[in-house]
A and B are shown apart, each in its own frame.
Chain A
Amino acid sequence: MPTHDQVPEGSAPVESTDPGRIVLDSQDVTRALTRIAHEILERNKSAEDLVLLGLPTRGVPLAKRIAEKILAVEGTSVPVGELDVTMYRDDLKSHPTRSPHKTVVPAGGIDGKTVVLVDDVLYSGRTIRAALDALSDLGRPAVVRLAVLVDRGHRELPIRADHVGKNLPSARTERVSVRLAETDGPDCADEVRIATSIEGGRGA
């Protein structure tokens, strides 16, 4: 099932013989996140009633970075939470069972708020479908939006992102991997890479 809209969670991107090419370097990532932060503010008119929920693993640091940028621009501290979707995935049966990640709802809750889901790569859309289900068990936001660093296409569900760092046309056989200092080690420069992949890259 091609539901590989993110790299294997909790592990470094799979080593493949093809190192691939960098499509976003560290500066590009920063620029993209700055732009997303601005777009979110513009769309919401202000930082009022905003909540950012990062999807583990890499959505979480991305959400925190966006919040920092909003703070820099607006002077307002936007609550950031974490939303794990493991138990809501529709592909639980086809992968070895993983421990779920944390779900952290900010103190103010999500009821009536504008919740922006943040993830690194948007692919089939199945993770976001799971996230919407998980969200509805936690409360009832006024609005839910989606921000992603990369949209690589190949959607399998009627889902689209509101804020996209970079649209990255890719083949299904290719593999898109995101590395961030927070998740992949302090020595790791932020980057987004695309490479030809081993079939069924996730969990390889």
Chain B
Amino acid sequence: MKKHLLSIDDVTVDDIHALFETAAEMHDVQRRDVKKLPALRGKTVINLFFEDSTRTRSSFEIAGKWLSADVINLSAKGSSTSKGESLRDTVLTVTAMGIDGLVMRHSASGAAQQVAGWLRQESSTIPVINAGDGTHEHPTQALLDAYTLTRRLGSLEGRHIAIVGDLTHSRVFRSGVKCLTKLGAEVTVVAPPTLMPSGITAWSKDAGFATSYDVDAVLPTADAVMMLRVQKERMSGGYFPTAREYTVGYGLTRSRLGLLKEGTPILHPGPMNRGLEIAPEAADAASSAVLDQVSAGVAIRMSVLYHLLAGPSAAATTGE
């Protein structure tokens, strides 16, 4: 496995399987009375969040703590960066405290990759885990989604998975489609044309997934559906006229549930806009995997932390 987890591009299919294997064991640990494992005892992990995210931050925090790491949450939002300190200075200051791992969330695409680059320039061996960078990637979310689906469906080879929603602004989509296609799934992404990322018709071909504007045509053959959060502020950007129109066109409504095959897992990274992109009947359906995703999130993050932090420091291993 590479030293950092910045993008799904950083993990091979074998890495993903190893991460899933470990996550399965971690999942079992969640059911024990004593949930702590000593694997990261004495290690310090910083959750450096430049953007609010209670869920992801707590998930990483629990994951780190159950592995016995000392986890420190640092909210950089509204602190030094707004006073004009450069991102590079902020990160180098934090890493100079002698930490063993950096979990980082930033509203800017590419921020984690830039940080990894600066750390390399400083000959630092601290692994960086991207907990979401702008509208670029969110690799642990993609891993936990794929893991959740694997537990529901078995191998994803040849399975048809629909991803529906605001693709332009979604890091969940960008990581997810990479991860799922790596695992052999056939992915169709669905969005109104205004929420399709630029150039997607060209690059989706190279990346090996399909695009569609018609959710009703895609759902009947789907083996799983991932709904993406739609932010209401997109309306002011002119991406779609009203929430009502979005729901009718692209929401997983009660009537659309009938298009799905029996028991098709429904995923949503949360937080859900009930009534906008997902109807309560879908969110709470027996086939909904939303809560599974949350518990899988802790297991996957334990697995990632374990694989990137437990071994010898990256300087001594191969690969970068």
Q: Is there an interface contact between B39 and A95, defined as CB atoms closer than 8 Å?
A: no
Quick check: A87 and B39 within 8 Å, CB to CB? yes
Q: A84-B25, A103-B25, A103-B28 are in contact. Are A97 and B307 (CB under 8 A)?
A: yes
Residues 149-177 of B, flagged 1 when their CB comes within 8 A of A and 0 if not, give 00000000000000000000000000000
| Residue numbers in B under 8 Å from A133 (CB-CB) | 38
* Bound CA span A72–B303, Å: 41
Please tell me which stretch of B185-193, B240-248, B309-317 contacts chain A, meaning at least 4 of its Cβ atoms lie within 8 angstroms of it: B309-317
Q: Are B25's CB and A95's CB within 8 A?
A: no
Residues of B within 8 Å of A95, CB to CB, are 311-312
Binding site secondary structure of chain B: loop
Taking CB as reference atom, which chain B residue is nearest A93? Answer: B312
Task: State whether A138 touches B306 (Cβ < 8 A).
Answer: no
A138's partner among B18, B22, B32, B310 (CB-CB below 8 A) is B32
Which residues in A have some Cβ–Cβ distance to B below 8 Å?
A: 84, 86-88, 92-97, 99-103, 133, 137-138
B residues sitting closer than 8 Å to A (CB atoms) are 1, 18, 21-22, 25, 28, 32, 34, 36-39, 67, 306-308, 310-313, 317
Nearest neighbor of A86 in chain B, beta-carbon distance: B39
Tell which of A97, A101, A137 touches B310, judged by Cβ atoms closer than 8 Å. Answer: A97
> In the bound complex, how far is the Cα of B28 from the Cα of A102, in angstroms?
9
A137 to B28, CA, bound (A): 13
Residues on B with C-beta less than 8 A from A103 are 25, 28
B312 CB contacts on chain A under 8 angstroms: 93-96
**B160 CB to closest chain A CB, in angstroms?**
29
B18–A99 CB distance below 8 A: yes
Q: Which residues from chain A contact B34 at a C-beta distance below 8 Å?
A: 137-138
A138 vs B1: C-alpha distance in the bound complex, in angstroms? Answer: 30
